[in-house]
A and B are shown apart, each in its own frame.
Chain A
């Protein structure tokens, strides 16, 4: 019998690090620190960005928590991300949903006898999670008919994008899902659930506040998508995450840009592609090289690590964990740990931003 727990998943490609001072700083800024962040401490921006984006993910302003959690479950299922699927399922159990209700929720992801609004949101989440994510006007119209439009639509899109980001970071690093999968069935979790459900509910399901983007945050990379999310808690978090990624010396800017260009081309996102091509021009990369990368994932004056990273980036749009993790493992052998974590962060951000661009452009 095959279940999501049987999806092939390789051993971790990253090591857990200890840096109490940095984790304390992250906790002070973001409010909480989850265990997975420790896998990414080799990067100078990814743990901070992931912590802040996680807070943005769990802070809902317009969508109800149940719908948002279901979206998380379906996006993780679509991407076969065992780690995120187990985390969402565990969280649902811990906040006190009856087990049978959760089984129904999981069941309904397939047989679709949920209410129309939830069905439409899940169908859209699946559409946007795929490797051919461009939604149609009909997809957006289906959401509008059930009352998900305007700012609620943008919040839904943002939640899907964030789940895509977390699915990629967890899958590419092959974070071990087994402890999370086993957690709900541990005796102490069953025994303590009534006591801790309130704490989990307060910690992982927050009510966000409308936030206006300050003028200085309206410019920079990915401005089109970020400005379209103005008013949601995610907008400033995304601005900081993306600025931190581009400012980080962990990978050369042109290498990151090549990775983002390959992902934009693979996902069919002209907005992201045009933006990255402009950035490459600013970096002094000639047009022939950019054209070569976009047309063939190769060009004569690329470095060997750029060649490997561009091909890896292109693979990250797909959903099968094991082949992706094998490619990531091959790449890991040729990079420092820092470069490898930076590559994971860059690919995850690019996958998220292309999907946001595509969905926000249609609306």
Chain B
């Protein structure tokens, strides 16, 4: 074999190696691109649990939609006497108990077409009809509250078996028009709602202590329920920030399982 042929073969082999490496690198990058693309798509889909689709798309395109008014049902839940309880328990146990509680309550909300908007200390704000119009939002919220009550009974049995004190919850529900939108700063922003309905749900939740019940609803919720939910009328109750006493009802349970 002449030196020229040998040199040519060497050049060809070198080029082939370079080409093969480039092809392999290309395949690797293409694979990464494909995975990133699918991940992005799925992320977009996952975020629909926290904000309406058009809000997510607007954010991706750099043009979030303007805030708007929506008819929603607001459920506010808060643990009763949690501060003294938190002082008794070991911090590690306390956080575990609180996280388990939130997990079970959030599941009850999600199973009834609501979504948890935020956790505030030991409180939970859930919205029904905020992500998409829901004609049965008040009915869903009350059923979610009943599911939360049932889930707490089960959880308390587990806590008692562990030698831990049981939890008690107060839930307030109101329905009305709110302003929904992205609220916060450029660094920390969330899709949430503001307005009188949110405040009233919180106040009604506080009134559960006064009336020694666990679920209270306002007239705007009661008026949309059917006879399947057993209610008990309570005396109109004065609430902070509301001019006249607010008519409220205690939710006793479902007439039919």
Contact surface of A with B, Cβ cutoff 8 Å:
1-7, 77-78, 80, 100, 103, 106-107, 109-112, 126, 130-132, 265-266, 268, 292, 294-298, 314, 318-319, 323
Contacts and interface: CB of A to CB of B under 8 A. Distances in A.
B99 to A, nearest CB: 22
A314 B39 contact: no
B132 A130 contact: yes
Interface centre among B43, B60, B133 (most CB of A within 10 A): B133
A260 B73 CA distance: 25
A2 B40 CA distance: 9
Interface centre among A103, A296, A298 (most CB of B within 10 A): A296
15 contacts: A1-B39, A2-B42, A4-B42, A5-B38, A103-B34, A107-B37, A110-B40, A111-B37, A130-B53, A132-B52, A292-B226, A295-B135, A296-B225, A297-B139, A323-B110
B34 A295 contact: no
Nearest to A5: B38
A355 to B, nearest CB: 14
A77 B45 contact: yes
Given A1-B35, A110-B37, A295 B224 contact: yes
Given A109-B41, A296-B136, A323-B111, 6 more contacts: A3-B39, A6-B42, A130-B53, A294-B135, A296-B225, A296-B228
B233 interface: no
Contacts of A6: 42
A330 to B, nearest CB: 11
A80 B33 CA distance: 21
A151 B32 CA distance: 41
Q: Is the interface of A mostly helix, strand, loop or mixed?
A: helix
B27 to A, nearest CB: 10
B37 A126 contact: no
Contact of B42 (A7, A78, A132, A318): A7
How many B residues are at the interface, by size bracket?
20 to 34
Nearest to B42: A2
B18 to A, nearest CB: 21
B44 interface: yes
B53 A4 contact: no
B7 to A, nearest CB: 36
Given A100-B30, A106-B34, A323-B111, A80 B45 contact: yes
Interface in B1-56: 30, 33-35, 37-46, 48, 52-53
A112 B139 CA distance: 39
Nearest to B225: A296
Given A100-B30, A296-B136, A106 B226 contact: no
Contact of B226 (A3, A111, A298): A298
Given A100-B30, A126-B53, A3 B139 contact: no
A331 to B, nearest CB: 15
A2 B44 contact: no
Contacts of B48: 319
Given A110-B44, A126-B53, A295-B226, A2 B132 contact: no
Contacts of B43: 2
A265 B135 contact: yes
